[in-house]
Amino acid sequence: MFSKETYINRRKRLQNKVESGLVLMLGNSDVPMNYKDNVYHFRQDSTFLYFFGIDLQDHAAIIDIDNNKEYLFGDDVSVGHIIWMGPQPTMVEKADRVGVEYTKPMAELSKMISDALKSGRPIHFNPPYRGENIMWLADLLGCHHGEVKDKTSLELTKACIEIRSIKEACEIEEMERHMAVAYKMHTTAMRMAQNGVSEQEITGAMEGISMSGGGMVSFPIICSKRGETLHNHDHSNILKTGDLLLVDGGSESPLHYATDHTRTSPVGGQFSQRQKEIYQIVVDANNISREATKPGITYKEAHLVAARVIASGLKDLGLMKGDVDEAVAAGAHAMFFPHGLGHMIGLDVHDMEDYNDTLVGYMDEMERSTQFGLAALRLGRTLQPNWVVTNEPGIYFIPALIDQWKADGTNADFINFDKVESYKDFGGVRLEDDILITDDSCRILGERIPITVDEVEATVSEGKK
């Protein structure tokens, strides 16, 4: 937990951005896996964590904007619970740790909301994403559960986005410190990328490193030699020398800040010439787009920088043709690079995506593109100092997509489909770093995970027995 003052100041900033009414924040509860007492690993709601810091189940909070009061709702545990859970802090103790003056039993939450509604006071809450909280809100608001999302507060959500986008010094320190765990996860995966090793074994090793470093993985690990499937969670393959292993994985810090990195390694330690050529294009796209990333430019511009590097490199290999700028404008490169350059990262691996990723990534600044590929860019708006974002260009040879575009003649003026046919068994390459936007540029958080051809080959080769 950060200092008491951190949470007090965050809530003060929020109060200054919401005009009137009650701000309602619901924490999360345990979710059963297969029966009530056998639950998934508990993960607190990120907004509740950010403003109230309490990483425990079954809490709610209200900020009364008009009367400048804050309330923490929850129940002290019984001796029966203590037998199983051990001693627990009281509600008063928890509230004091984060600077909240008033505590109330959970049963009183509905009355406070009901009284406010009767008085015509607005109730502000962010879009819920868990079914139990949707039902809870429906009960509190006296509406059908299908109406809950229509009652969310755009005023509150925009205020939360504005505040949470800019990372405080304590957040940056927490994220940077945990990058050492991410480094160990990925370099371990590289060393394990050997003939006869299973994807599942590597995934398990990475998850263990994350847990031993203080937190769960920040999302299910992607570890596959079928890297052309962007989010491939199947880990059933056995690696063979010559395969490309794409690993996209991250860890949560003890305070729940995420890391998110991707590396692609040659199984056995040696890229083939064809693999090296494609890989180097992605390295260049990563580095050149990062050099263009700084305050005052939009991340859409940085994305298009990466797209032009990729299109130019593929043209040099004879896989694309024609004018590079025209090809990128037409979206031809997206057959190979069908996703965005990156997204915000913080308490969520896709930070604040529960609010609505278009709102977070574009706000009122610009319209999100509908063009294939560019439409997948989660973050398009103008960059600001102390944002943390991912930089993750990639090149993929997706047989179904290639076949569809070829049959339809999509962007045939810019793609050499005959040559692309010989790459349909290639797989995919993605290279991802977490970067901090500084006052005039950006920098990679933590020690950079090996990324050059020589660095990756050397690291993989260290794992040979």
Which residues, listed in sequence order, are joined to residue 224 by a DSSP beta bridge?
A: 246
Better-scored residue on pLDDT, 81 or 174: 174
Q: Is beta strand 22-26 parallel, antiparallel or unpaired with respect to 60-64?
A: antiparallel
Q: Is beta strand 102-104 parallel, antiparallel or unpaired with respect to 69-73?
A: parallel
CA angle 146, 152, 158 (to 5 degrees): 150
Which residue is associated with the tokens 């909280």? Answer: 133
Domain boundaries, the chain: 4-165, 169-461
Residue 385: count of CB within 10 angstroms of its CB: 16
Residue 342 exposed, middle or buried by CB count within 10 Å (0-12, 13-18, 19+): buried
pLDDT exceeds cutoff 90 at 221: yes
Per-residue pLDDT tens over the stretch 93-149: 999 999 999 999 999 999 999 999 999 999 999 999 999 999 999 999 999 999 999
Residue 349 is predicted with a pLDDT of 98
User: Can you tell me the mean pLDDT for 47-65?
Assistant: 98
Region for 383 from its dihedrals, namely left if φ exceeds 0, alpha if ψ lies in -120 to 50, beta otherwise: beta
Give the burial string for 180-199 (b: 16+ CB within 10 Å, else e): ebbbbbbbbbbbbbbeebeb
Mean pLDDT for all residues in the chain = 98
Per-residue pLDDT tens over the stretch 300-331: 999 999 999 999 999 999 999 999 999 999 99
Q: What span, in angstroms and rounded, lies between the C-alpha atoms of 343 and 360?
A: 10
Q: What span, in angstroms and rounded, lies between the C-alpha atoms of 255 and 218?
A: 12
**Computed over its alpha carbons, how large is the radius of gyration of the chain?**
24
Q: Is beta strand 22-26 parallel, antiparallel or unpaired with respect to 123-124?
A: parallel
How many CA within 13 A on the CB side of residue 371?
A: 20
Domain 4-165 has CATH 3.40.50.1110: no
At 11, the pLDDT band (50, 70, 90 cuts) reads very high
At 63, the pLDDT band (50, 70, 90 cuts) reads very high
Residue 371 is predicted with a pLDDT of 98
Per-residue pLDDT tens over the stretch 417-456: 999 999 999 999 999 999 999 999 999 999 999 999 999 9
Which SS3 state, helix, strand or coil, does residue 1 take? coil
pLDDT exceeds cutoff 90 at 415: yes
At 461, the pLDDT band (50, 70, 90 cuts) reads very high
Residue 262 is predicted with a pLDDT of 99
Residue 83 exposed, middle or buried by CB count within 10 Å (0-12, 13-18, 19+): exposed
Residue 86 is predicted with a pLDDT of 95
User: Can you tell me the mean pLDDT for 245-252?
Assistant: 98
Class of domain 169-461: alpha beta
**Is 287 in contact with 306 (CB distance < 8 Å)?**
no
This prediction has a pTM of 0.96
Give the burial string for 11-48 (b: 16+ CB within 10 Å, else e): beebeeebeebbbbbbbbbeeeeeeeeeeeeeebbbbb
Residue 180 is predicted with a pLDDT of 98
Which residues 6+ apart lie within 8 Å of 287 measured at CB? Answer: none
Q: Which of 186, 275, 195 is nearest to 464 (CA)?
A: 195
Residue 159 is predicted with a pLDDT of 99
Which SS3 state, helix, strand or coil, does residue 20 take? coil
**Is 201 in contact with 192 (CB distance < 8 Å)?**
yes
Residue 289: count of CB within 10 angstroms of its CB: 25
Rounded to 5 degrees, φ, ψ at 88 are: -125, 145
User: Can you tell me the mean pLDDT for 73-99?
Assistant: 96
Q: What span, in angstroms and rounded, lies between the C-alpha atoms of 222 and 205?
A: 13
